[in-house]
Amino acid sequence: MSPRSPRSARFTRALLGVARLPRDDWALLARALVLLPPVSVGLRLVGLRRALALVEALSPARRRCAEDYPRGAPRTAWLVEVAARCWRPRPTCLAKALVVLSLLKRRGLPAQLVVGVTKARGPLEGHAWVELGGAVVGADPGPASYAVLVRMPSWLPTSATIAPRERAP
């Protein structure tokens, strides 16, 4: 491949874009790079239920920051997609959705995992994505053509995210 090929130019632009990321985005990208392999392997070895438990264990919730919602959610999904391009074999949509779910849960956001199916292009196809407040997180155009099969709501908030109740005197 020549150094001036279109593929090489795209890669160079992508590297320059990543080099300009703010420090918070670098931290999210690093977390995504670390989480994608164990989640992908976990899905293959132990199945979805145990992979969800792994994601829950790896992502303790913290208090929600007003600036994280909802602007940071699409950015998080984009960074996970960037991280997924670094791994071979490429992680599945379910693995990427679980990592996005984990990262959003760490921010204390009430995201949910959604799995859908379609038969529009012939054989039955499945797809997984994350929704936040009823909207798809990220720029994935696919979910609109899928019939929702399963909606897994976010886990119950921990005591750190629940405001204490006032007791009546």
State the total domains in the chain: 1
On whether the CB atoms of residues 161 and 64 are closer than 8 A, the answer is yes
Does 80 fall in a domain?
yes
User: How do residues 64-111 score in pLDDT, each as one tens digit?
Assistant: 554 544 568 998 999 999 899 888 888 999 999 999 998 988 888 888
Question: How far from the centroid of its chain's Cα atoms is residue 29's Cα?
Answer: 11
On whether the CB atoms of residues 112 and 151 are closer than 8 A, the answer is yes
Does 117 fall in a domain?
no
**Number of other residues whose CB lies within 10 A of the CB of residue 108:** 18
Confidence at residue 138, expressed as pLDDT on a 0 to 100 scale: 81
What is the residue range of 94's domain?
7-109
Confidence at residue 45, expressed as pLDDT on a 0 to 100 scale: 92
DSSP alpha helix (H) spans, 4-122: 6-19, 23-58, 72-84, 93-106
Does 164 fall in a domain?
no
